[in-house]
A and B are shown apart, each in its own frame.
Chain A
């Protein structure tokens, strides 16, 4: 299928990425080649095959719900690019 720069814009916006104009055409061309190669899968008849997300039949692994201390707040905040003593700081998002 044709991957247009409009489609690249659309998936970029979904991914919170913004490619510079000069990179868009090259990215569209590369993705088109890769997707064309992925179309190889259409040659394999998969009628009746259940999609497999996990190779082992391990489902709903539960543990007792016991309250326990989480990591130290100061240690968790230490890596944040903007913080005060109690929280992560971001630009205002709600007027």
Chain B
């Protein structure tokens, strides 16, 4: 049995049946990371011995296991706190920070028998769309090593695509799960804001941040999300809800489902091959009985500026905690306390983090607050209202994830605005707190994966996952692997 070709759920089933042991699966993953992880630069920390020890322990408890993902090796984006395991946010300023506690998401998955392989590379503090702002160097796309895997959860998407772990948990503030999933040909979902606890997720923009899974197909994502979602008293923005049952309700039946196609998402700036592949996805859903109709979403063009104002403002506040005192890295040779703060922050943050801190400080500063920050919060309300209207007309929306496939490494580094503009289809989803899913829907002429995005109303994860599952029953894009050949 070629383990790396299995989905997470297939591996979980093989473990339950006793066809493969958890230590065997763990060793296979660690061997694969040893062979390929270096070239991709997707892992920042591999917990080899610790992983193998836990694998042995989990194997002993297999008789009592109930989760379909029990014992399946996975990995965490490195902005998620793991007790005693280095957590860096890919920033120099966190140094060798080893959190004294686990994120709620880590507690929940580990209680269900998740087996962590380690921590995944990303854009520094999740600020970036290419995974090039990491202080540990860029992640490479397993489909073409000269290209970016996307970002900021680029390490997570690259690892899952390359078979270096069966699934990963990332975070998404403006597209950071969905866009790398699209660039690397995997499936990823950003859940409704408030449905996954942010306790232990190192904050970038707290009103937009949300954790979610990247996996090999919609069913794997559903299984992980069933474990992640739930109210948490340690996150006051987490919501009560009717959680669980996402996996068991995947029927693939989309008869009567109405899918809206916002015309503004298919206009100027969209690559022709991406347009064709995403519209072809609508035809596949139609073929299974869904109804597809065009609709208009004119406020789309305001989403990127509103997003970067709000996200930068929150980042400038959240990142004020990095001062070289309580944890992380401290500069040398300072004169006094203010100089200690300034030198630590100036030398500890990378260029993109500094740019967003400065931008956020600017939009919040006296004299500019009303024109930028307050205005952006009004635009956010207008965008949410536009989505509310859209979901009166249809059950979910279908859009591209990004205007192009994965760019060459270095292409966007000198031009931050150009990088921000590539987030056009994803950021509005975070502003409105909606669930958004990214699924592979084709390849361009260079052989790079193309992603389609499904957007649903609040708590619409079940609809999104079921539509993606239906799509994946009729297509095999999600089964393709970078090394050629198909998954089982």
Contacts and interface: CB of A to CB of B under 8 A. Distances in A.
Partners in one complex: yes
Given A11-B365, A81-B328, A71 B101 contact: yes
Q: Chain A CB within 10 Å — which of B316, B337, B378, B379 has the most?
A: B378
A78 B100 contact: yes
Q: Chain A CB within 10 Å — which of B325, B338, B458 has the most?
A: B325
Contact of A53 (B207, B329, B342): B207
B355 A27 contact: yes
B362 A31 contact: yes
A57 to B, nearest CB: 11
B361 interface: yes
Contacts of A18: 342-343, 346
Contacts of B361: 11, 14-15
Interface string A59-83: 0010100000001100110111110
Contacts of A37: 304-305, 417, 420
Interface string B351-368: 100110111011101000
A37 B392 CA distance: 31
Nearest to A88: B325
A60 B421 CA distance: 35
Interface in B328-384: 328-330, 334-343, 345-346, 349, 351, 354-355, 357-359, 361-363, 365, 371-372, 374-382, 384
A91 B355 contact: no
Given A17-B342, A34-B417, A44-B382, A27 B358 contact: yes
Contact of A40 (B95, B302, B371, B378): B302
Contacts of B101: 71
Contacts, number: 161
Contacts of B320: 15-16
B100 A79 contact: yes
B327 interface: yes
B28 interface: no
Nearest to A79: B327
B403 interface: no
A78 B327 CA distance: 8
Q: Chain B CB within 10 Å — which of A40, A41, A91 has the most?
A: A41
Contacts of B433: 55-56
Given A11-B365, A40-B302, A41-B379, A52 B345 contact: no
A41 B375 contact: yes
Contacts of A30: 355, 416-417
Contact of B376 (A33, A41, A56): A41
B194 interface: yes
Contacts of A51: 374, 377-378, 380-381
A79 B326 contact: yes
Contacts of B194: 56, 58
A63 B302 CA distance: 38
Contacts of A56: 193-194, 239, 433, 458
Contact of A91 (B236, B305, B306, B340): B340
Interface string A16-49: 1111000100010011011101111110101001
Contacts of B336: 91-93
B308 A34 contact: yes
A47 B138 CA distance: 44
Nearest to B298: A44
Contacts of B365: 11, 14
B233 interface: yes
Interface of A: 7-8, 11-12, 14-19, 23, 27, 30-31, 33-35, 37-42, 44, 46, 49-56, 58, 61, 63, 71-72, 75-76, 78-82, 88, 90-93
Given A38-B305, A55-B433, 10 more contacts: A15-B361, A31-B362, A33-B417, A35-B359, A41-B379, A44-B379, A50-B378, A51-B380, A56-B458, A71-B101
